[in-house]
Structure 1
Amino acid sequence: MQLNGCSGQLHPRNPAQYQRLPSLRDQAQIIDQWRDQRVARIPSVLERYGVDAWLMSQREYAEDTIWWSIKDATEHAPHRRTVVLFHRNISTLADMPNPLRWVDNTGQVWPELRSILEAYNPTRIALNTDKNIAFGGGLHVGELEVLRRELGDKWMSKTVNQPMLGIEYVAARVQGQLPYYRDLQEITWALIEETFSNKVVIPGHTTTEDLEWFYREKMLTLNVSTWNHPRVSVITPESFPGWSGTKDTVQEGDLLHVDFGISAMGMHTDTQHLAYVLRSSEGETDVPAGMKEGLKKANRMQDIVLSKMEAGKTGNEVLRECLDQMAEEDITGQIYCHPIGDWGHAPGAVMGKIKTTNDVKER
């Protein structure tokens, strides 16, 4: 068994090594510190988009998408009804907590919220009601009806839809996250290297489904989880790009593909790797030359993408520039890049899609 492209991997050690993460207790403290740093930026984001307040309301099992990124690390669901009001730290709220937060199931939250609004007198109150952007459309319809009933026309007439608030908040990273994210990525690489090895794969016996469940079981021992079930397949001209969904038995000469990510410390990875199964019974000792050449072209595509990614460009602009550069270099390939962070598919610039090379619409 040999990883196709083992020599081209970018982890700091070869082979990759499993990294030890902090205890869960320490992780919770670290995650909350990161969250506090990000929340501290919200008033400036509100000012940038001309919004005076940002209101969220949710209940257990009916959470706003943004709630998962503002909650305490030890919270696993909203308690009762949880109402959150971010503001710009001005006027009557200059010295108030930010956000203001109510956890109640008695209805007392509404007169208190109305009192706060009366004193603050915001002109534009953002609600997460966007129809196109998931990170700006997390307010459940039931909660919207409650807000209409409890706040009345006076305040509901001042509500606006501004999805960039959610996008900018969730997309924001803080300095302390990067070293831990590198550890998560190396754990991912180490897990791939172990799974795609003679230790685990027995040609003619092991199935792709066996490998998927090996990933899942091994993650439990590493104290990490996943945001999507690992997908392992045998790549054929018919199944690539995409995932065939088969439960093939791995044979010598197969090209294996995995797509999965781990989750820990409020962050996620999303990684795809290939592995070639040597035809050992026929005396094969190295990956075929054509696959090595394919790897070189794939590495060149990665360099092109990195060279074209610049602040201020849209994902579609980067995609078009990359495709033009690939055409100049006679490289036939496909680009699909997306942000990661609080979510496996996080908000931000998306470059390409699996089944299209056209411009990507908002999501």
Structure 2
Amino acid sequence: MTLVVPDPTRTVPLPLRQQADVRDGWLSQRLLDLLPVLMDRAGIDLWLVVGRENNEDPVLATLLPATWLSARRRVVLVLHRSDDGVTPVAVSRYPVGQFLPAWTGEDDDRDGDREAGREGDEQAQWAAVRRIVEQAAPRRIGIDVSARCSLADGLSVSDHGLLTEALGPHARRLVPAEDLVVGWLETRLPEEVAALDALNGLTDGVLAEALSPAVLTPGTTTAADLAWWVHQRLADLGVPPWFHPGVTVQRAGVPLRGRRGVELPAVPQDAALLPGDLVTCDAGLTSLGLATDLQRTVYLRQPGETAPPEGLGRAWAAGTRAQALTAAALRAGRTGNEVLAAARAAAAAEGLEAAVYSHPVGVHGHGAGPAIGRWDDQHGVPGDGDRVLHPDTVYALELAVRLPVPEWGGQCVRLALEEGVALTPRGTRWLGRPQRELWTLPA
């Protein structure tokens, strides 16, 4: 398939001011419609999210106004579940958007407590937190501590100690909010899924541009050149990457390195790309508080070739078939490990050697939620692999197949593919513009 490059500038995100309005609107809707359901599911009556400037809980950014690019001093957000929904309260020196202010320090200033300095200010802040807890009288107070999920482990040791001391006997009600955090981070509004659909299309456009004659010149361009071009292009478009783009090159005569099952391409990053190479680029952008993660592959045709070697064509067909089988295995109610086992069993039944390592994506590129294998471990992921898939979530459906290429003297190729998919109550839906055929580039 000769590559047709879409114009990524046609889907450039909204101006930052409009993005802020959109994000704040989403937050209001999430607090109103989504959070009560998630708190009930986790069995938590009151959720405390604590973060300090330059040492912030990963969850905090998803609750702050869009104009807050970081925490200010110490911010304590209290989310209380009652019969009327969820009441969001802020115990902060500064007003926090749509959160009700429960303490700003002003009364303490008038009472002369400021003379005691920072220590007195902190004591007053924690005293306000205790008053709220006493008034709410929750049975279970969720805090962000977790040994297995880093995104749910944002409460620092020092703040945990100060909180426990401040709550006194109420500290006995503290429980890990891990399940609530995961639910909050992984669940998407319909509007957020629509935005991710467009952002996946934008990511595809940039990768198509990178793997076109406008950017890639065989014999001159290196893998490192391509990676930096994609990084710069995303930054220039106002959708910066959340990781430095990766470019892998496979070439006849340069076998995969490593042991069976964990092999990787071995062409150096500073080597010029040559006709006959198979080039894969992996990139993800961020916008509107959301992230994408995609891979695109192109074959650099040799002089006289009008199509890739048949062996690479078979590898591509195997990869897209493994994608379809994995998409079918993604079902709400299954655990990540069950999806992994079902996808691999389905692939093996058709004679495909596939490694599946898909993951949630949304607020974070490697997001909270069920892990579906790892590229270097196909036996299941303890902990995160035991999480159950829920509807209204988004995944990077990522996998690789391994096949010998007769035209390369039987040398094996590891073909990696990655697409965005939304998990709905009716099954999976592809996002953006999935790569359906192997792209080619003339010599």
Fold equivalence (TM over 0.5): yes
Contact kept? 1:44, 1:88, Cα under 8 Å: no
Matched, 1:362 2:386: no
Mapping of 1:248-327 within 5 angstroms?
248-280=271-303, 283-327=304-348
- CA distance in 2 between counterparts of 1:67 and 1:238 reads 42
Give the deviation of 1:17 after TM superposition.
3.5
Q: Which of residues 139, 155, 163 in structure 2 aligns to 1:147?
A: 163
What is aligned with 2:212?
A: 197
Q: State the SS of the aligned residue for 2:286.
A: strand
Q: Which of residues 32, 37, 45 in structure 2 aligns to 1:44?
A: 37
Cα RMSD after superposing both structures: 2.0
- CA distance in 2 between counterparts of 1:309 and 1:352 reads 13
Give the deviation of 1:15 after TM superposition.
4.2
- CA distance in 1 between counterparts of 2:241 and 2:265 reads 18
- CA distance in 1 between counterparts of 2:163 and 2:345 reads 49
- CA distance in 2 between counterparts of 1:315 and 1:50 reads 22
What is aligned with 1:23?
A: 15
Which amino acid is the alignment partner of residue 266 of structure 1? Answer: G
Q: Which one has a larger percent strand, Structure 1 or Structure 2?
A: 2
For structure 2, list consecutive stretches of 5 or more residues without a partner in the other structure. Answer: 94-117, 385-443
Contact kept? 2:336, 2:370, Cα under 8 Å: yes
Mapping of 1:187-266 within 5 angstroms?
187-235=202-250, 237-239=255-257, 241-242=263-264, 246-266=269-289
Give the deviation of 1:138 after TM superposition.
1.2
Q: Which of residues 44, 48, 55 in structure 2 aligns to 1:62?
A: 55
Mapping of 1:172-183 within 5 angstroms?
172-183=187-198
Q: State the SS of the aligned residue for 1:142.
A: helix
What is aligned with 1:77?
A: 70
What is aligned with 1:9?
A: none
Q: State the SS of the aligned residue for 1:324.
A: helix
Which amino acid is the alignment partner of residue 332 of structure 1? Answer: E
- CA distance in 2 between counterparts of 1:205 and 1:42 reads 53
Give the deviation of 1:52 after TM superposition.
1.7
Which amino acid is the alignment partner of residue 24 of structure 2? Answer: D
Which amino acid is the alignment partner of residue 205 of structure 1? Answer: T
Contact kept? 1:128, 1:138, Cα under 8 Å: yes
Structure 1 residues 303, 117: CA separation in 2 closer, same or farther (over 3 Å shift)? Answer: same
- CA distance in 1 between counterparts of 2:12 and 2:158 reads 43
Contact kept? 1:171, 1:348, Cα under 8 Å: yes
Which amino acid is the alignment partner of residue 73 of structure 2? Answer: R
Which amino acid is the alignment partner of residue 299 of structure 2? Answer: Y
Identity of paired residues, percent? 28
Q: State the SS of the aligned residue for 1:272.
A: strand
Which amino acid is the alignment partner of residue 167 of structure 2? Answer: L
What is aligned with 1:11?
A: none
Which amino acid is the alignment partner of residue 255 of structure 2? Answer: P
Contact kept? 2:47, 2:177, Cα under 8 Å: no
Give the deviation of 1:75 after TM superposition.
1.1
TM-score (norm 2): 0.74
Which amino acid is the alignment partner of residue 248 of structure 1? Answer: A
Contact kept? 2:53, 2:73, Cα under 8 Å: yes
Equivalenced residues, count: 346
Give the deviation of 1:123 after TM superposition.
2.2
Q: State the SS of the aligned residue for 1:157.
A: helix
What is aligned with 2:106?
A: none
What is aligned with 1:33?
A: 25
Which amino acid is the alignment partner of residue 23 of structure 1? Answer: P
Which amino acid is the alignment partner of residue 55 of structure 1? Answer: L
- CA distance in 2 between counterparts of 1:241 and 1:25 reads 46
Contact kept? 1:16, 1:186, Cα under 8 Å: no
What is aligned with 2:91?
A: 102
Query: Which has the higher relative contact order, 1 or 2, with Cα contacts under 8 A spaced 6 or more apart?
Result: 1
Structure 1 residues 260, 311: CA separation in 2 closer, same or farther (over 3 Å shift)? Answer: same
- CA distance in 2 between counterparts of 1:243 and 1:61 reads 38
Contact kept? 2:256, 2:264, Cα under 8 Å: no
Contact kept? 2:235, 2:241, Cα under 8 Å: no
Could you list the per-position Cα deviations for residues 217-267 of structure 1 after superposition, in whole angstroms to 9, with x for gaps in the alignment? 211231211100001121253257546573222111111121111111111
Contact kept? 1:127, 1:162, Cα under 8 Å: yes
Structure 1 residues 182, 49: CA separation in 2 closer, same or farther (over 3 Å shift)? Answer: closer
- CA distance in 2 between counterparts of 1:55 and 1:277 reads 54
- CA distance in 2 between counterparts of 1:47 and 1:192 reads 42
Matched, 1:116 2:132: yes
What is aligned with 2:145?
A: 129
- CA distance in 1 between counterparts of 2:41 and 2:217 reads 57
Structure 1 residues 57, 248: CA separation in 2 closer, same or farther (over 3 Å shift)? Answer: same
Which amino acid is the alignment partner of residue 99 of structure 1? Answer: P
For structure 1, list consecutive stretches of 5 or more residues without a partner in the other structure. Answer: 7-13
- CA distance in 2 between counterparts of 1:247 and 1:146 reads 51
TM-score (norm 1): 0.90
